[in-house]
């Protein structure tokens, strides 16, 4: 009996996103993305064009330091590394017919380094990085034309990298679109907000695009495993009243419909009722319905926190900067940003997704954002991040419980395996990494990298395949 529930071949690693790590926002022909005009993340207004206070313009300069960073990931023993390809590096405006070769060549170099170190790539095709031109000229994903642009982009990636990349994710947190239309769907937000019907139509376009990419992958890169990626958040009833249980079911349905469509190939009845009750009729063609039948090989998700729900909306509040609202759970502690810490919730959501979809699962984001302090220990600069070790250890123990429950889990990529710019706050002070990066919210710093205490802890976890937890 091995002394760990983690199976041989379990994929241990870390995750990042192009817009939060690379910088070089206009280098080698890259076009602007919606992120380049979001200097405050989802916590503040967009700007017309990039402003110097937008930390993502430089990020942590991974565009030039990728070899050094990947060598550090290899030092921890990563078996897999999740990263996104910046759509506007490949198609600067998004609607061109020919790709930007310099953009493609950059990711060739990243894949070369990963191969050198024997690290499996896990590629996110679209991670909140819609080309700004598609947002401004077409209205983002509310426009059906984006399906064709995304198809061309995905086909280009599968043709170029299909023999080197096995694991693909179509959209990052595809279920965030209704909550963050500009960041997630490239949808410009007018004064009165985006009409709900247009948001649901945009959601439909993304689901069709995801399914078409899955079909293209099967044609062009037969060895590829294509997954959807959703933001998971277990929802507990604030009281045992049936009304609160119904409130939980309704909130859960708002999240689960994306995984349902990706695994069943059609819209579930509860979703069609939701549209009917709001008087929304979607433009769904017969071709769309056929496309949606191209279901995924696995389901991946991010997990940070759980939330409570109640039939009494006056009790609603949300953690600062998190995409999904909800009601604070009085039984749980919270991070500095109000994200409630619930390791057991990860076991619950693994069981819920496995029971519901019976598809292999991949945890592609989990981590603790914190204000780390760089100190010197035995002459070395480091961060004594026992709080992050505790958070990750507790969550990984629960992954082990879910494996004992019989859940099929492919792997785990901790979010922000190196300090990068936060999506919600667009700051660097909300740090997640096993590696500290010397860059501050005012843009100052040397960009030097330093191993935190968690760097060595995680290397042990990987070396022992979880036995050291």
Catalytic residue among 22, 129, 365, 401: 365
Q: How far is the CB of 430 from ligand BGP (least distance, A)?
A: 5
**Is 321 among the residues that bind ligand BGP (CB under 6 A)?**
yes
| 6: Cα within 13 Å, side-chain hemisphere | 20
Rounded to 5 degrees, what angle do the CA atoms 212, 233, 267 make? 35
Closest by Cα among 262, 219, 222, 461 to 361: 262
Please tell me the distance from the alpha carbon of residue 309 to that of residue 245, in angstroms, as a whole number: 8
Size of the site for ligand BGP (CB under 6 A): 13
Catalytic residue among 22, 113, 129, 173: 173
User: DSSP letters of 385-445?
Assistant: -HHHHHHHHHHHHHHHHHHHTT--EEEEEEETSB----TTT--SSSB--SEEE---TTS-S
Q: How far is the CB of 34 from ligand BGP (least distance, A)?
A: 13
**Is 173 among the residues that bind ligand BGP (CB under 6 A)?**
yes
Please tell me the distance from the alpha carbon of residue 240 to that of residue 5, in angstroms, as a whole number: 33
**Is 369 among the residues that bind ligand BGP (CB under 6 A)?**
yes
**Is 362 among the residues that bind ligand BGP (CB under 6 A)?**
no
One residue of 302, 310, 329, 335 binding ligand BGP per CB under 6 A: 302
- Residue number with CB closer to ligand BGP (27 or 320): 320
Pick the stretch among 21-29, 254-262, 402-410, 422-430 that binds ligand BGP (CB under 6 A): 422-430
- Token match 């942590």: residue? 60
Pick the stretch among 45-53, 148-156, 195-203, 418-426 that binds ligand BGP (CB under 6 A): 418-426
Q: Which of residues 423-442 bind ligand BGP (CB under 6 A)?
A: 423-424, 430
- Residue number with CB closer to ligand BGP (83 or 200): 83
One residue of 415, 436, 455, 457 binding ligand BGP per CB under 6 A: 415
The helix/strand/coil state of 6 is coil
- Residue number with CB closer to ligand BGP (100 or 172): 172
Q: DSSP label at 315?
A: G
Closest by Cα among 74, 122, 124 to 410: 122
- Residue number with CB closer to ligand BGP (173 or 206): 173
Please tell me the distance from the alpha carbon of residue 68 to that of residue 62, in angstroms, as a whole number: 9
Q: Which of residues 133-172 bind ligand BGP (CB under 6 A)?
A: 172
Q: How far is the CB of 172 from ligand BGP (least distance, A)?
A: 5
Q: How far is the CB of 191 from ligand BGP (least distance, A)?
A: 26
- Residue number with CB closer to ligand BGP (85 or 292): 85
Q: How far is the CB of 233 from ligand BGP (least distance, A)?
A: 11
One residue of 126, 422, 454, 465 binding ligand BGP per CB under 6 A: 422
For 56-213, strand residue ranges (E) read 80-84, 120-126, 167-171
- The answer to whether 173 is a known catalytic residue is yes
Asked whether 68 and 427 are in contact (CB, 8 A), the reply is: no
The helix/strand/coil state of 175 is helix
- Token match 């600067």: residue? 92
Q: Please list, residue by residue across 261-288, b when 16 or more beta carbons sit within 10 angstroms of its beta carbon and e when fewer do.
A: bbbebebeeebeebeeeeeeeeeeeeeb
State the greatest distance between any 2 C-alpha atoms of the chain, in Å, as a whole number: 66
- The answer to whether 365 is a known catalytic residue is yes
- Residue number with CB closer to ligand BGP (170 or 302): 302
Pick the stretch among 28-36, 268-276, 287-295, 417-425 that binds ligand BGP (CB under 6 A): 417-425
Put residue 41 in one of left, alpha, beta given phi > 0 → left and psi -120 to 50 → alpha: left
- Residue number with CB closer to ligand BGP (41 or 131): 41
**Is 17 among the residues that bind ligand BGP (CB under 6 A)?**
yes
Return residues touching ligand BGP (CB under 6 A): 17, 20, 172-173, 302, 321, 365, 369, 415, 422-424, 430
Give catalytic residues, as residue numbers: 173, 365
């Amino acid at each position: 009996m091995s002394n760990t529930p983690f199976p041989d071949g379990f994929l241990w690693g870390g995750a990042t996103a192009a817009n939060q790590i690379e910088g070089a926002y206009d280098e080698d022909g890259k076009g602007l993305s919606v992120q380049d005009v979001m200097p405050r993340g989802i916590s503040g207004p967009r700007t017309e064009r990039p402003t110097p206070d937008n930390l993502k313009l430089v990020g942590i300069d991974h565009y030039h330091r990728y070899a050094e960073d990947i060598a550090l990931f290899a030092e921890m023993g990563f078996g897999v590394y999740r990263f996104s390809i910046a759509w506007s590096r490949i198609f600067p405006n998004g609607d061109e017919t020919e790709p930007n070769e310099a953009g493609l060549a950059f990711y060739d170099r990243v894949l070369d380094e990963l191969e050198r170190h024997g690290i499996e790539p896990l590629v996110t095709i679209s991670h909140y990085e819609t080309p700004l031109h598609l947002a401004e000229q077409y209205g983002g994903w509310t426009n059906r034309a984006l399906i064709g642009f995304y198809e061309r982009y995905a086909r280009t990636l599968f043709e170029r990298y299909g023999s080197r990349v096995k694991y693909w994710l179509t959209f990052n947190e595809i279920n965030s679109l209704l909550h963050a239309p500009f960041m997630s769907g490239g949808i410009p937000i007018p004064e009165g907000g985006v009409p709900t019907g247009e948001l649901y139509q945009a959601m439909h376009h993304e689901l069709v695009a995801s399914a078409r990419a899955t079909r293209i992958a099967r044609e062009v890169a037969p060895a590829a495993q294509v997954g959807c990626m959703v933001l998971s958040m277990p929802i507990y009833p604030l009281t045992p009243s049936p009304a609160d249980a119904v409130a939980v079911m309704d909130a859960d349905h708002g999240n689960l419909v994306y995984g349902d469509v990706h695994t069943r190939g059609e819209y579930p009845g509860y979703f069609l009722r939701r549209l009917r009750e709001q008087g929304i009729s979607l433009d769904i063609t017969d071709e769309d319905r056929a496309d949606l039948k191209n279901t995924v090989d696995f389901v991946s998700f991010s997990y940070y926190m759980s939330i409570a729900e109640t039939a009494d909306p006056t009790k609603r509040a949300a953690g600062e900067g998190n995409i999904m609202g909800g009601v604070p759970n009085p039984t749980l502690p919270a991070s500095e940003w109000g994200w409630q810490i619930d390791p057991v919730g990860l076991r619950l959501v693994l069981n819920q997704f496995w029971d519901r979809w019976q598809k292999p699962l991949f945890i592609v984001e989990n981590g603790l954002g914190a204000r780390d302090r760089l100190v010197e220990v035995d002459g070395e600069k480091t961060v004594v991040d026992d709080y992050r070790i505790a958070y990750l250890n507790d969550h990984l123990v629960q992954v082990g419980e879910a494996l004992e429950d019989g859940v099929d889990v492919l792997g785990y990529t901790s979010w922000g395996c190196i300090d990068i710019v936060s999506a919600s706050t667009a700051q660097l002070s909300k740090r997640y990494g096993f590696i500290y990066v010397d860059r501050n919210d005012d843009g100052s710093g040397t960009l030097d990298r330093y191993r935190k205490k968690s760097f060595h802890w995680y290397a042990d976890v990987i070396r022992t395949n979880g036995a050291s937890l």
